[in-house]
Amino acid sequence: AYQVEPLVRQLDQAQQSISIILDTRKFQNKSIEYEILRQTMDFFQKHYPELITVWLIVPVSFIQRCIWSFFSIFLQERQVSRIRMLPDLHSLVHYVDQESLLITYGGKATIFDNCKSE
């Protein structure tokens, strides 16, 4: 929360939405990381619901996407419509323009590079 608020304040006044990229490449203990993922989603939905356009979760295997498809039928359509499970980082360019996508993910933006995890 302490890192998010200053970043939200940096958004251009014309900026009406944001996309959140959740990079799962370094998830070690799946159950713990997915619980953190759930808590992060809950945080943003509670405090910044009007800003979130889409959650982009990468990379997600074919099996994981199939499991998501099954379980997503039990969620509200509004929630499901905001979540995209992507097979690889290259898929991000279909959802985020290169000017807004971090260099880390193949784009040109540097503004939020200090938030990336190493």
Query: What confidence tens digit (pLDDT) does each residue in 63-86 have?
Result: 888 988 888 888 888 778 888 999
Q: What is the pLDDT of residue 12?
A: 67
Q: What is the pLDDT of residue 117?
A: 47
pTM of the full structure? 0.70
Instruction: Write the single-letter amino acid at 87.
Output: P
For the chain, residues with pLDDT lower than 50 are: 116-118
For residue 40, the cross-strand partners are: none
Question: What is the DSSP-derived secondary structure letter of residue 53?
Answer: E
Give, for 20, the enclosing helix (H) or strand (E). strand 18-23
Q: What is the pLDDT of residue 13?
A: 62
Q: What is the pLDDT of residue 67?
A: 87
% of the chain beyond a pLDDT of 70: 81
Question: What is the DSSP-derived secondary structure letter of residue 64?
Answer: H
The tokens for 73 are: 């039928």
